């Protein structure tokens, strides 16, 4: 980032560093691998670069990133599509709103909150009602 002149990095799918996997050092726990990944990214980016962590375990992010996407991925439907192993973080405006409300108090305490984008139009999924759009806009505005 420094060499290329980037002042902002959005790093997504950071949770992948903590997934069960074979590690270069088998003694590393998933948490240790996550911390190593975040420390390495922060050092490479430099303190002058704003690092936005997305899909990142929140506790692991503290101290390593400047902002965290606090919500589930949003989309143009209130209800998420079924993901059997994860019903609270699956993409959907309802999950994004719920997560943003639950994590609002973290703003400016541990990092800057990023509630994800605001979906206002009608997409291929059928779209959000006017009341759902107002709810999403209100939560986004209040989340930091």
Q: Torsion angle, CA of 91/84/34/58, rounded to 10 degrees?
A: 50
Structural tokens at position 3: 């060499």
Catalytic residue (choose from 12, 25, 76, 86): 12
Cα four-point dihedral sign 89, 74, 116, 95: negative
| Rounded to 5°, angle at Cα 41 from 38 and 45 | 140
Catalytic residue status for 73: yes
At 55, list the tokens. Answer: 């899909």
**List 66, 73, 76, 116, catalytic entry:** 73
75/70 Cα distance (integer angstroms): 15
Beta strands across the sheet bearing 112-114: 8-11, 50-53, 67-69, 112-114
The bridge status of strand 50-53 relative to strand 112-114 is unpaired
User: Is there a catalytic annotation at residue 66?
Assistant: no
Q: Mind telling me the catalytic residues?
A: 12, 73
């Amino acid at each position: 980032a420094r060499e290329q002149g980037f002042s902002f990095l959005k790093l997504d799918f950071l949770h992948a560093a903590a997934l069960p996997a074979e590690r270069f050092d088998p003694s590393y726990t998933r948490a240790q691998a996550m911390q190593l990944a975040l420390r390495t990214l922060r050092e490479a980016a430099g303190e002058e670069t704003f690092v936005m962590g997305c899909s990142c375990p929140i506790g692991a992010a503290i101290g390593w990133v400047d902002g965290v996407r606090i919500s589930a991925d949003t989309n143009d439907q209130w209800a998420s599509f079924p993901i059997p192993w994860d019903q609270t973080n699956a993409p959907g405006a309802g999950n994004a709103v719920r997560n943003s409300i639950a994590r609002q108090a973290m703003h400016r305490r541990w990092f800057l909150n990023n509630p994800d984008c605001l979906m206002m139009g009608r997409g291929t999924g059928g779209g959000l009602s006017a009341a759902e759009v107002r709810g999403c806009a209100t939560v986004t505005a209040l989340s930091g």
